[in-house]
Amino acid sequence: VRVRGATGEAVAVSARAAPREHAITARGARLAWRQWGEDHEYPVLALHGWLDNAASFDALGPLLVGHRLIALDLPGHGLSDQRGPHGSYNIWDDLPDLVWLTAELGLVRYALLGHSRGAAIATLLAAIEPDAVSSLVLLDGMLTPMFREEDTVAQLRQFAHDYGRRRSRGPRVFTGVEEAVAARCAATGIDPRAAAMLVPRSLEPVPGGWRWRTDGRLRHASALKLTRGNVRNVLEALQLPALQFRAAQGLVARPLDQECSGWLRALAVEEIAGCHHCHMLGQAPAIAARMQDFWRTCGQG
């Protein structure tokens, strides 16, 4: 099996490069994931970023030898179901599904890996499941930004109007995958190489072409957000080893992120060149090697 290296050349890797696809009905809805590694290897639950999917870990998965990497499509993303008509996408809404899934898979003790929005969700999950989560790796993300209490009414108003009045025009139909990739790049500024890896899993075929499977409500406002005090309480509750990668051209808000880093006592920070999705690109081997060293130090494979 061959994958693309830092400059686009083909690089030989083991058969581990081909993940296995899984799905389960969780709390009445389908949850899908990709898995690299074997069930007996140390489990790592991987959570992707906003509007992404399990393919976010396609570059890292083959490299994390000795670990069972479970890369989930979070609800509303990828091949997982969208939330029901009364559902919403606050970052804490995913926690019950994750608690259910880890129990169903028999993950008594596991590591967490999160990118961007997935890093924030992983941080919350680590805080509420201290006996289960053994370590935390954050890819260009953390539990930020913070919410000002004086914005409470405005935030609730936007949330209520988005979910109560906003009407979908229906998903756009693309004539081909390449057109959808270009649209994703134009909308979010994502690196085209990363978009080309992510977009196919976020599409479904329809007459005349392809449309997004991703739930449009992911663009709606949250009901509320976490305040500075909330974030500090969560991070100071964490008593586990943690590693964060900060991308030089990433999206992490440096001043806020540096303040928060001081609240997570056992956090190690690695600066890495590249963009917000650098873990999917040429930096993947270096990131994977550092993660493997970190897990070995933690006694996790």
DSSP H or E segment with residue 288: helix 284-297
Angle, helix 254-261 to helix 228-237, in steps of 10 degrees: 40
56 annotated active-site: no
- For the chain, the residue count is 301
Q: Cis peptide before 145, with omega less than 30 degrees from 0?
A: yes
Burial tier of 247 (Cβ tally within 10 Å: 0-12, 13-18, 19+) = buried
Tokens 């991703």, residue? 214
Burial tier of 224 (Cβ tally within 10 Å: 0-12, 13-18, 19+) = middle
The rounded distance, in Å, linking the Cα atoms of 94 and 115 is 15
The active-site residue out of 56, 80, 116, 134 is: 116
Q: How far is CA 43 from the centre of its chain?
A: 16
The rounded distance, in Å, linking the Cα atoms of 190 and 22 is 27
The rounded distance, in Å, linking the Cα atoms of 4 and 1 is 11
Q: How far is CA 168 from the centre of its chain?
A: 25
The rounded distance, in Å, linking the Cα atoms of 114 and 124 is 11
Reading the block at residue 218, the tokens are: 């992911």
Burial tier of 170 (Cβ tally within 10 Å: 0-12, 13-18, 19+) = exposed
Q: Which residues are catalytic?
A: 116
